[in-house]
Amino acid sequence: MLKKISFTVNGLQVALEVDVRESLLEVLRERLGYTGVKKGCEVGECGACTVLIDGTPVDSCIYLAVWADGKDIVTIEGIAKNGELSKVQKAFIEEGAIQCGFCTPGYVLTATAMAAKGKKYTREEIKRELSGHLCRCTGYQNIIKAVEKALAD
């Protein structure tokens, strides 16, 4: 059950043949080498596999790769530009919002999508937007602070 698809990942055009049973997570990690996309729970609960599809955060573990045909995908590898970390990434470092790092790519991508909306978020709204991610290390406070900081100006 192979199907030819093409999409962009971090601005690069990709064309490949996928098995229709493959998840986007599997194709990104195992076929294309984007290992910044983390494989966590595989049932859409932990958010570690989050990528942006046409600018929207989606769990790539419960998204079939064939559905990505024609879409624009951004992974954590596409966030820093020319070796320069993004504002969200810098804020995560400055606020110490990172420990083991497994959840971080997903958080950074969701926060990047929030920043792109250009709207103001209350702390409650930030919590709600981040609620699809689990972090077992930092206890969320530093993550929330980092996102607040990144969205502040």
Partner 1 sequence: MYNFQGYHEATTLAEALALLAANPRLTVIAGGTDVLIKLRHGVIEGAELLSIRHIKSLEGVQKLEDGTIAIGPLTTFSRVAEDPVIKDHIPVLAEAALTIGGPQIRNVATIGGNLCNGATSADSAPTLFALGARLKLKNNTGERVTPIQDFYLGPGKVALKPGELLTQILISPEDYRGYGGHYIKFSQRRAMDIATLGVAVVCKVKEGRILEDVRIGLGVAGPTPRRCPEAEAFAKGKAITSETIATIGKLAVKAAQARTSWRASREYREHLVEELTQRALREAIVKAGGEAIA
Stretch that binds partner 1, among 43-51, 86-94, 95-103, 136-144 (CB under 8 A): 43-51
Q: 57 has which bridge partners?
A: 52
Q: Among 5, 37, 58, 147, which residue interacts with partner 1 (rule: CB under 8 A)?
A: 58
Minimum CB separation of residue 84 from partner 1 in Å reads 27
CB of 140 to partner 1, least distance (A): 12
Q: Alpha-carbon distance 139 to 137, whole Å?
A: 6
Please identify, using beta-carbon distances, which residue of 94 and 125 lies nearer to partner 1.
125
**Cβ 46 to partner 1, closest distance in Å?**
9
The window from 4-12, 14-22, 91-99, 142-150 that contacts partner 1 (CB under 8 A) reads 14-22
Cβ proximity of 65 and 22 under 8 Å: yes
Cβ atoms of 147 and 91 closer than 8 Å:
yes
Say if CB 135 and CB 107 are below 8 A apart.
yes
Q: Which helix (H) or strand (E) holds 2?
A: strand 2-9
Residues 133-152 that bind partner 1 (CB under 8 A): 133
CB 121 within 8 A of CB 151: yes
- Of the candidates 131, 139, 141, 152, which one interacts with partner 1 according to CB under 8 A? 131
Instruction: At 95, give phi and psi (nearest 5°).
Output: -90, 5
Interaction site with partner 1 (CB under 8 A): 1, 19-23, 26, 42-45, 47, 50, 56-59, 62-64, 66-67, 110, 128-129, 131-133
